[in-house]
Amino acid sequence: MKPSLQQQAVLRQELRMNPRLYQAMDLLYMPLQDLQQHLKEELLVNPFLELVESDETDAAAEPKPEAEQKEREEAESAQEMNWEDILLDGFQVGGARPQSEDREYFERVPVETPGLSDYLRDQLRLLSLTPRQEFLAEEFLGDIGEDGYLQATLEQIVQGANEALDAARQARADAGREGGGGPSDQARPFTLQEAEALLEIIQRLDPPGIGARDLRECLLLQLRESGQTDSLAYRLVHEAFDDLIAHRWSELAKRYGLEAKAVQEAADALAKLDPKPGLRFSRSDDAYVIPDLVVDKIDGEYRVFLNDGGMPRLRLSRVYRELAADKKKFVGENREFVTQKLNSATWLIQAIEQRRQTMLKVMHFIVDRQRDFFEKGVEHLKPLTLREVADVINMHESTVSRVTNQKYVQTPRGVLPLKFFFSSSLETTTGEDASARAVKAQLQKLVSEETPADPLTDSQIVAALKARGIRIARRTVAKYRDQLGILPARMRRRV
């Protein structure tokens, strides 16, 4: 065979991502707050964009059908129009729902709040501690986690404190060579006994249970603080903690010569204690959710609205009509700049409108599909996938994923993430599918209504769901039960 070169024509389709397509995808992905910030930034960098004032918005609160049609036609033909013509006739597209009042939006400024370490340090300052104890106390505070537990052993804390002490001693020695004083008399190494004594002091601080090394010690500290060292609950935690957490009521009752009910009542009292006392001082910021969509029931029908009243309404600036009239000014770089900025502004307004329409399409389909959920509750939620929505609204599955990601909707049943409405399916005896989320809700209801003295086993739950027309394996019930935080039947049994 001889090597040779050949030419041939091949016709094929390719999807090439351009910057505008990337931007459209980003706009779909952005939650409402991020989109608001993005549009404000665009207003600063693009002179062809301007904000629609509230009085103009109010005047257009009830647009006429003719005006709406004209606006849509202008939006569709914007890419084909000459930029001078667009500016001269004051082209305007897109926008949010009308607002009835002028509103100013500010980003929430975080305020520094005292955390757990600050709270404990303030209490230690009220005590008569020596400089050595204060130094060691700082090492302890650094090893207490947000949940309030001590995250290092006493040996590790002593080692860390001595290393810090050596560094401080070296710093003082260097300062002495430069004219400072000599080493401190307090620089002798810390001992394990000192650490144990200081831990006892820390464990008497508020909140009760702070500085514990495990759950058992945390409960004992709280019981001691409340004066219950002579109680059955204290004895159970101190002497039989493993049997207690395993809910072995009968074995514990025989061991202490009591009725099983008395042991169970002691366990109920322990359940009221705080297993993670430090979390109440956690600095985690409050999560504020602003729904992107609103579903209201009006005259017996569910209506979908965009919650975009706080989003800036953009239009092409009318100020530039005068500039566009003087065509001699726009040559070379000037014309290129104007054309680029104008095209960018026009396309951004169209992309915002496209985002609005896509979100409405997705939410309308969800409402139609999940009407039983809105009427009757989560037990009637139907299985739904992104592909199903994409096929119905004629969009790609990835587009639907971006629309639903990090988006929330305000409904008569609360504010829910759009992802809430999507779940896998389980087969029913009637041949239909049931949502996995709905099955979990039914499982939880079965457990909440069971007889405490004779709780339902996983096999009995399988039978109960089968009686309701849901086919499910026992291992799937066990998996769902674990995900819901429901204990096995043996540990739920009460006497």
pLDDT digits (tens, 9 = 90+) for 49-63: 777 765 554 444 444
Domain count of the chain? 4
In this structure, the answer to whether residues 236 and 337 fall within a common structural domain is no
Q: Is residue 190 domain-resident?
A: yes
In this structure, the answer to whether residues 123 and 94 fall within a common structural domain is no
Q: Is residue 429 domain-resident?
A: yes
Residue 39: predicted pLDDT: 81
Q: Residue count of the chain, please give it.
A: 495
pLDDT averaged over 10-residue windows placed end to end, the chain, 495 residues: 64 55 67 78 78 56 45 42 41 37 42 75 90 89 90 90 81 60 59 92 92 93 92 91 87 88 88 89 66 89 83 72 60 69 79 85 89 84 84 82 85 88 65 69 83 82 81 82 81 75
Distance CA 77, CA 381 (A): 42
Long-range residue pairs from 50-53, CB within 8 A, at least 24 positions apart, any chain: 50/314, 50/315, 50/316, 50/317, 50/318, 50/319, 51/312, 51/313, 51/314, 52/95, 52/313, 52/314, 52/315, 53/102
Residue 404: predicted pLDDT: 83
In this structure, the answer to whether residues 352 and 394 fall within a common structural domain is yes
Residue 87: predicted pLDDT: 40
Amino acid at 169: R
In this structure, the answer to whether residues 65 and 153 fall within a common structural domain is no
Helix (H, G, I), strand (E, B) or coil at 269: helix
Residue 196: predicted pLDDT: 93
Q: Is residue 109 domain-resident?
A: no
In this structure, the answer to whether residues 267 and 239 fall within a common structural domain is yes
Indicate the residue among 186, 205, 224 that finishes a domain: 205
In this structure, the answer to whether residues 459 and 487 fall within a common structural domain is yes
Q: Is residue 8 domain-resident?
A: no
Residue 200: predicted pLDDT: 94
Which residue range(s) make up the domain with 151? Answer: 116-205
Q: Is residue 415 domain-resident?
A: no
Helix (H, G, I), strand (E, B) or coil at 249: helix
In this structure, the answer to whether residues 90 and 32 fall within a common structural domain is yes
pTM: 0.55
Q: Is residue 410 domain-resident?
A: no
Q: Is residue 143 domain-resident?
A: yes
